[in-house]
């Protein structure tokens, strides 16, 4: 689960919200955070360094997520803003819009919402209809 992938932040987890723990309120963190419990509030990475959030299969977040690298294998109810790499594992259940830089979605993951790709440089692409001969 903490393997180095292209674009991933780092595999280090600095903080843990354990199973059986419920936090009501916003959570701000830097570095790496793993959630095994429940958070009712926004989970936002702060600082200018890459950050990693891991939402385990037993975890639940009700609120907005803003992070550099995100691994989801639990439940998220709210919008996700992942500026670099998003991994949706097989038990992921997301209700809300998902913004991402790059994505990996495993068989079994469910998202009820829109996927919006965020690229580093927005390019306009002109599409032309093929002429019928």
Task: For 86-113, write each residue's pLDDT tens digit.
Answer: 999 999 999 999 999 999 999 999 999 9
Q: List the alpha helices (DSSP H) in the chain.
A: none
More confident residue, 7 or 32: 32
The pLDDT score that the predictor gives to residue 3 is 43
Nearest to 71 by CA among 49, 51, 97: 51
Q: Which CA distances in Å does 131 have to 125, 126, 128? A: 18, 15, 9
Which residues 6+ apart lie within 8 Å of 122 measured at CB?
A: none
Judge residue 51's burial from the number of C-beta atoms within 10 Å of its C-beta, 0-12 exposed, 13-18 middle, 19 or more buried: buried
Strand pairing of 38-40 and 43-45? unpaired
More confident residue, 49 or 78: 78
Averaged pLDDT score across all residues of the chain = 87
The pLDDT score that the predictor gives to residue 119 is 79
More confident residue, 57 or 13: 57
Percent of residues, the chain, with pLDDT higher than 90 = 75
d(CA 30, CA 14): 8
């Amino acid at each position: 689960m903490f393997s180095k992938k292209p674009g991933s932040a780092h595999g280090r987890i600095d903080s843990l919200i354990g199973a059986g723990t419920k936090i009501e309120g916003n959570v701000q963190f830097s570095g790496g955070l793993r959630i095994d419990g429940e958070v009712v509030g926004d989970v936002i990475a702060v600082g200018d360094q890459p950050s990693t959030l891991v939402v385990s299969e037993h975890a639940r977040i009700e609120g907005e997520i803003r992070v550099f690298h995100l691994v989801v294998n639990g439940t998220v109810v709210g919008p996700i803003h992942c500026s670099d790499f998003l991994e949706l594992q097989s038990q992921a259940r997301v209700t809300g819009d998902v913004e991402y830089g790059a994505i990996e979605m495993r068989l079994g993951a469910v998202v009820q919402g829109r996927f919006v790709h965020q690229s580093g440089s927005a390019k306009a692409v002109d599409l032309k209809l093929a002429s019928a001969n």
